[in-house]
Chain A
Amino acid sequence: DEWAAAKTLVKPPDQLELTEAELKEEFTRILTANNPHAPQNIIRYSFKERAYKPISYVDQMAIHFSLNGNMILKDSDEGRRQSIRLSTAAEKAPVETSAVTSEETEIKDEESTGDTQAAGDEEAEGSGTAEVAEAAEAEEPPRPRAKEQKLANQFNFIERASRTLNNPMRERACQSEPTPCKNFSATANQWEIYDAYVEELQKMERSKEKEKTKVQIAKREEEKKKGRNLTSLESQSDDITKISKAAKIMERMVNQNTFDDIAQDFKYFEDASDEYRDQQGTLLPLWKFQYDKTKRLAVTAISWNPKYKDLFAVGYGSYDFMKQGQGMLLLYTMKNPSFPEYVFSSESGIMCLDFHNDHPYLMAVGFYDGNVAIYNVKKATSQPSYRSSAKSGKHTEPVWQVKWQKDDMDNNLNFFSVSSDGRIVSWTLVKNELVHTDVIKLSVEGTTMQGPEGLQLQTLGCGTSFDFHKKIDYLFLVGTEEGKIYKCSKYYSSQFLDVFEAHHMAVDSVSWNPYHLKVFISCSSDWTVKIWDHTIKTPMFIYDLNSAVGDVAWSPYSSTVFAAVTTDGKAHVFDLSINKYEALCTQLVVAKKKNKITHIQFNPVYPVVIIGDEQGHITSLKLSPNLRRMPKEKKGQEVKKGPEVEIAKLDKLLNLVREPESK
């Protein structure tokens, strides 16, 4: 009954209210071995596929209880060891009860027979895979009958190791030879690149030359070897010759510094007071050139170099018949007034010189003893390159003037010379020899003499100067000691084209006008300077200068300007277009009265004249503006320049003079 009573349903208060149908619903429950706590969808990142992937299998094992036991297998090594230990421990402690000892002896006995079994009984068996792993080391079973304490260590642990043979280490190094290093630094500028290219070009040219002359290689090699030896010798000894060019420039610079004011005057000074001087001009003294070896010699010839406008040559000799000594030829440049550039000496006094127009390093020189010579400035010697001699037809009297001519048909150099022996000779340089040809003999008309054996002797006039026409090649003038001027042609050797009764004394200089084709000037020791037209027998203009005129020269820039020097030390400059009767400038140039001026020359480019005197000094003077007047241009008209203007200018003047005559 109580049981029946207990069968009545007792509903807890929070029970679900369900319907009958729902109560009868059957729910199936399946028992699986799955772990309900195991997760069902573990997602892991797979690096291989670089994506999140679900793990296919999830571990379903659920461990409810685990306990690590301490039981070891009786038969295992550890078990055996422990049993032995127990047995030995029992021997050590004799204090223990006999039961224990008997037990131990029993144990020992059992051990002696089958120790593993006994030990295994006493020992508890254990599960534990770990202990088996520990005892896996290969060990020898301990000695069972070890009553003596032979154990080496507590743990009865024997280790036996073996080692591989280690080769002894030895260091061995090898180092290669370091490549020789050198520090190199350079700059690469425009000019370095340019220099490299120029060198390359020269090398190419040299190799081309070598290709062309393959035939003479053997010979040349020999010479080169000898030459090389020589150059090595030379390069050792001359340290200082290489500086010659720099030294030359330096000397000029030093001189420029010292003579700075003169150089400035030369370049820039124009006398402003000329405006007030009413057409008169002055000559401004510039440099003075002198050389101690020529102190006793007189300047006998001056000539400007055709190529270098600042270079001039001066010949030294003596006009005095009694005092004849050696001669010198110096080349000065305006850039260096203190020392000549080139010095040549000769045994006989030099009377005249001339530069060749095309070869400005060649100078023809005439001597007092009648010889002529050619000096080559390029050569280092102070002796002439070619020289005439008595055998080769030298003059018998001093040579007063030499002039280069154009090269003849064989391209040989030739020049003319005039001398007091009355011959005008043409010298030709044929294969390093001077060959002479008499061009004209200056026979004086009407002076045939009766010589011995009935011969007719002609006395010859003495030529003192000559000049060749600039345009008409064959025409030239000769001035003589008798005062006559002969107009000659190169093609007529026996007759003159014309004779001018020019002066009463020796004609010192004749000169054609550089512009006008018909006009020439002559000067003489009879104190006069005369200007002629070669078609008219009488002079156009006559100037009396009160003293023997040494030299006269036309200016290169104007057809109406000329300068004359007299033996009283004065220089006279005339300009016909400004003043027909008087000099524009009469100036005492040389200080001492004892000194006579011998020659004057205009510089072809600069407004400078050089004057040589009897004491071997050369003075350079600058022409003031009044002396260099060009014709004034009318307003609006173009300024005509050139030789035609000059010719016209002179023509106009001549016409003024000629008209009364023609009438």
Chain B
Amino acid sequence: MSLKRSSVQYTPSYITLLCLLCNREKAEVEETLKRIQAHKGVIATIVVNAEGIPIRTTLDNSTTVQYAGLLHQLIMKARSTVRDIDPQNDLTFLRIRSKKHEIMVAPDKEYLLIVIQNPCE
């Protein structure tokens, strides 16, 4: 199928539509995060950016900073390990189960999503 490039007019309405779309995605993600937080047993949700600075959190500041810093380093190490063994591979998820609760980390290209859940209750 030949792709013929038709000239796209970036009218103001088109731009607002694009913004609306990305707002929609934003709303979806926000909703997902809220659902996760409201899920049974979830203690806390933290979003950390690429430099290890927490962007969103439901915990108090000092604990958040601690979690963010430590887990950030751990994820870098884990990812480096996985990719060292096979560069085409990549880390998708990390779960640390401890006596008291479970820490789940989902790494992304730029961000880190940390959720602490108590799975037993």
Question: For this complex, into which size category does the number of interface residues on chain B fall?
Answer: 35 or more
Could you give, for residues 241-252 of chain A, a 1 whenever the CB lies within 8 Å of some chain B CB and a 0 otherwise?
111111111110
Q: Within the assembled complex, what's the spacing in Å between the Cα atoms of A541 and B36?
A: 50
Nearest CB in chain A: distance from B74 CB, A: 16
The yes or no answer to A254 lying at the interface (CB within 8 A) is: yes
Interface residues of B in 3-45 (CB under 8 A from A): 5, 7-8, 10, 15, 18-19, 21-22, 24-26, 28-30, 32-33, 35-36, 39-42
Instruction: Choose from B10, B41, B49 the contact partner of A230 (Cβ within 8 Å).
Output: B10
| A247 contacts B36, C-beta separation under 8 Å | yes
Supposing A238-B25, A246-B111 touch, asked if A257 and B55 sit within 8 A by C-beta, the answer is no
| B106 contacts A230, C-beta separation under 8 Å | no
Residues in chain A near residue B84, CB distance under 8 A: 189-191
| B35 contacts A251, C-beta separation under 8 Å | yes
Nearest CB in chain B: distance from A289 CB, A: 15
Question: For this complex, into which size category does the number of interface residues on chain A fall?
Answer: 35 or more
Residues in chain B near residue A338, CB distance under 8 A: 35, 39
| B87 contacts A216, C-beta separation under 8 Å | no
Q: Within the assembled complex, what's the spacing in Å between the Cα atoms of A245 and B102?
A: 20
| B80 contacts A191, C-beta separation under 8 Å | yes
Instruction: Choose from B7, B29, B39, B40 the contact partner of A240 (Cβ within 8 Å).
Output: B29
- Pair count A-B, CB < 8 A: 118
The yes or no answer to B100 lying at the interface (CB within 8 A) is: no
| B21 contacts A380, C-beta separation under 8 Å | yes
Q: Is the interface of B mostly helix, strand, loop or mixed?
A: mixed
Q: Within the assembled complex, what's the spacing in Å between the Cα atoms of A466 and B61?
A: 62
Nearest CB in chain A: distance from B109 CB, A: 7
Could you give, for residues 189-207 of chain A, a 1 whenever the CB lies within 8 Å of some chain B CB and a 0 otherwise?
1110111000000000000
Residues in chain A near residue B5, CB distance under 8 A: 216, 219-220
| A246 contacts B26, C-beta separation under 8 Å | no
Instruction: Choose from A189, A238, A339 the contact partner of B26 (Cβ within 8 Å).
Output: A238
Q: Within the assembled complex, what's the spacing in Å between the Cα atoms of A254 and B15?
A: 36
Supposing A195-B87, A248-B32, A251-B36 touch, asked if A243 and B42 sit within 8 A by C-beta, the answer is no
Q: Within the assembled complex, what's the spacing in Å between the Cα atoms of A37 and B53?
A: 102
Which residue of A has the minimal Cβ distance to B29? A244
Supposing A242-B109, A254-B115, A254-B117 touch, asked if A230 and B15 sit within 8 A by C-beta, the answer is yes
Q: Within the assembled complex, what's the spacing in Å between the Cα atoms of A189 and B39?
A: 39
Q: Within the assembled complex, what's the spacing in Å between the Cα atoms of A187 and B81?
A: 13
| B18 contacts A234, C-beta separation under 8 Å | yes
Interface core residue of A234, A241, A255 (most chain B CB under 10 Å)? A241
| B10 contacts A226, C-beta separation under 8 Å | yes
Nearest CB in chain A: distance from B53 CB, A: 12
Residues in chain A near residue B93, CB distance under 8 A: 249, 253
Given A238-B25, A250-B104; 4 other pairs, CB 8 A cutoff: A241-B26, A254-B41, A260-B119, A339-B35
* Cβ-closest 6 pairs across A and B: A194-B87, A191-B83, A246-B106, A257-B119, A191-B87, A246-B113
24 A–B contacts from the bound complex (CB under 8 Å): A189-B80, A194-B83, A194-B87, A195-B87, A226-B10, A234-B18, A234-B22, A237-B19, A237-B22, A238-B25, A240-B30, A241-B29, A243-B47, A244-B29, A247-B106, A250-B104, A253-B93, A253-B95, A254-B36, A254-B104, A257-B102, A257-B117, A257-B119, A258-B41
